[in-house]
Amino acid sequence: MEILVMIIIGILLFVGIIGCFVPVMPGPPISYGGLLVFHFFSSHSIEENTLWFMAFVVIAVTVFDLWVQIYGVKKFGGTKKAVNGSIIGLIIGIFFLPPFGIIIGPFLGAFIGARMEENSDANKAIKIALGALAGFLAGTMLKLSVSLYIIYLVFQTIPSLW
């Protein structure tokens, strides 16, 4: 049974890392799910204070990630079309230009969305696209850091691995 639990934990942690890059998958909450499974269903446990702290961090990072990309677009004068273009560009980029589509997709999507707006010239659209890219990268790096830290917590708790 322990092996099955460890496989489930490994899958959740791996999918959590993937979810840091894919917009429809909440990476840190999935990784946190792996941490909870590890705590409650394996023969190892994490301190309760750590679980509560990580729950707070995961919620904060998830909210921040939703906000930061929109902020990046709006800070440079973009509207909802640029935000939506950035998200659509990311989804398309992941499937058609992996792994570079993760960076190129949001930029091109925000650029196209900004160009579709009234009175938007190419220079302004590039600034908006750079804002979207900066927001996406900031959110992704933060989510990735949290998910990697959760993996660290799991591995450092298993003494037989060291």
* 59: nearest Cα among 1, 149, 146: 146
- Which of 9-18, 62-71, 111-120, 148-157 is the least confident region? 111-120
Q: Check pLDDT > 60 for residue 161.
A: no
Q: Which of 36-40, 46-50, 128-132 has the lowest mean pLDDT?
A: 128-132
Look-up: residue for tokens 């994490």?
Answer: 46
Largest separation between any pair of C-alpha atoms in the chain: 62
Environment class of 87 (CB within 10 Å of its CB; exposed 0-12, middle 13-18, buried 19+): buried
Task: Indicate whether this model's pTM tops 0.85.
Answer: no
**How high is the pLDDT of residue 115?**
86
Q: Say if residues 72 and 139 touch (Cβ distance below 8 Å).
A: no
**In the chain, % of residues over pLDDT 90:** 40
pLDDT higher than 70, residue 10:
yes
> What three-state secondary structure class fits 2?
helix
Place of tokens 């900031």: 138
pLDDT higher than threshold 70 for residue 98: yes
Question: What pLDDT was estimated at residue 119?
Answer: 67
For the CA atoms of the chain, what is the radius of gyration? 18
Q: What is the pLDDT of residue 118?
A: 62
